């Protein structure tokens, strides 16, 4: 009996060791608007596959520049569709690996619980010092914010009040810290469990800006990385899509 138990123990240890050797790690570049959801996705990936993610968050345009300069990323989760397509065109992404993992929503948000009304009329009053938005050159959500201001006919009126973040993440921090009373951010940054975490917001009508379709792509460096492929497979699963929707995305 003792001999049997010893053999069984050795067998189970060998299985555990084998599963550990199968687990891998992928380095994923993630658009700043997806900074919170990727944490939940990473936890789900590790729970279901054992694979782990190393995450770098930034503006899509800056991540593109880093990849072009040789940054060691395996996967890109962009905030647009054009950046992954360009990487594929440049031979830096695996052909036919692109897909839309989420469609984002733009909101006008303030850390003040009463400043932003349900229709965004606060923008017309000008009763604030600073309005934050992300750089439209590198952040698709910043470009969407510019579209909204023009759509509302307020671009000239608001010009003197604008403060620009390098990414949608920095834009959020400008508002959260009070350096700007309000600004345009991603809905995913201010929701938790499907509810507004704090402050006040106006959900910008989606016909005011070009749809924020966000594509994922497998980079050539990660083509043979099982963790990278597992992440892309997971993002297309019903479980991950349901999780992504809780952050305000259309998945």
Residue 116 near residue 122, CB atoms below 8 Å: yes
Rounded mean pLDDT for each run of 10 residues along the chain, 251 residues in total: 48 46 90 96 98 97 97 98 98 97 98 96 95 97 98 97 96 97 97 90 97 98 98 97 94 66
Task: Specify which residues 54 forms β-bridges with.
Answer: 27
Helix (H) or strand (E) holding 104: strand 99-104
Radius of gyration of the chain (CA): 21
**In angstroms, rounded to a whole number, what is the distance separating the alpha carbons of residues 119 and 121?**
6
User: Would residue 13 count as lying in a domain?
Assistant: no
- Looking at the fold, whether 89 and 127 belong to one and the same domain comes out as no
Position 17 scores a pLDDT of 46
For the whole model, what pTM was predicted?
Answer: 0.86
Token readout for 118 is 């349900």
**184: three-class secondary structure by DSSP:** strand
Q: What DSSP letter does each residue of 20-64 carry, written as one string?
A: HHH--EEEEEEEGGGHHHHHHHHHHHHHHH--EEEEEEE-HHHHH
- Looking at the fold, whether 152 and 34 belong to one and the same domain comes out as no
Distance of CA 178 to the CA centre of its chain: 23
Position 235 scores a pLDDT of 98
Residue 217 near residue 223, CB atoms below 8 Å: no
Token readout for 121 is 């009329």
Position 193 scores a pLDDT of 79
Give the total number of structural domains in the chain: 2
Token readout for 230 is 């597992």
User: Would residue 9 count as lying in a domain?
Assistant: no
- Looking at the fold, whether 29 and 85 belong to one and the same domain comes out as yes
- Looking at the fold, whether 99 and 222 belong to one and the same domain comes out as yes
Position 11 scores a pLDDT of 47
State which residues form the domain around 132: 104-208
Helix (H) or strand (E) holding 67: helix 60-68
Position 20 scores a pLDDT of 45
- Looking at the fold, whether 99 and 180 belong to one and the same domain comes out as no
CATH of the domain at 235: 3.40.190.10
**In angstroms, rounded to a whole number, what is the distance separating the alpha carbons of residues 220 and 160?**
44
User: Would residue 54 count as lying in a domain?
Assistant: yes
Position 22 scores a pLDDT of 77
Q: Which residues of 208-234 are buried (b: 16+ CB within 10 A; e: fewer)?
A: bbeebbbbbbbbbbbeebbbbbbbbeb
- Looking at the fold, whether 218 and 97 belong to one and the same domain comes out as yes
Measure the CA angle with vertex 161, ends 155 and 165; round to 5°: 95
User: Would residue 1 count as lying in a domain?
Assistant: no
- Looking at the fold, whether 130 and 74 belong to one and the same domain comes out as no
């Amino acid at each position: 009996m003792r001999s049997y138990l010893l053999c069984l123990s050795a067998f189970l240890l060998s299985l555990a060791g084998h599963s550990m050797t199968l687990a891998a790690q992928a380095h994923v570049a993630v658009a700043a608007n997806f900074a919170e959801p990727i944490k939940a996705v990473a936890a789900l990936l590790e729970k279901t596959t054992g694979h782990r993610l190393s995450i770098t968050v930034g503006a899509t345009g800056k991540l593109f520049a880093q990849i072009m300069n040789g940054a060691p990323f395996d996967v890109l989760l962009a905030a647009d569709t054009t950046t992954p397509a360009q990487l594929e065109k440049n031979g830096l992404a695996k052909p036919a690996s692109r897909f839309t993992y989420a469609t984002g929503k733009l909101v006008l948000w303030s850390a003040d619980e009463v400043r932003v009304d349900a229709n965004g009329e606060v923008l017309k009053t000008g009763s604030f010092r600073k309005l934050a938005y992300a750089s439209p050159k590198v952040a698709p959500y910043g470009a969407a914010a510019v579209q909204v201001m023009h759509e509302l006919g307020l671009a000239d009126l608001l010009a003197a009040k604008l403060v620009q973040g390098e990414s949608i993440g920095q834009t959020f921090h400008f508002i959260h810290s009070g350096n700007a009373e309000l600004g345009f951010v991603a809905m995913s940054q201010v929701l938790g469990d499907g509810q507004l975490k704090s402050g006040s917001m106006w959900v910008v009508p989606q016909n005011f800006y070009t749809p924020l379709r966000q594509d994922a792509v497998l980079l050539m460096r990660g083509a043979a990385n099982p963790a990278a492929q597992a992440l892309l497979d997971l993002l297309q699963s019903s479980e991950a899509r349901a999780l992504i929707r809780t952050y305000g995305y259309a998945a």
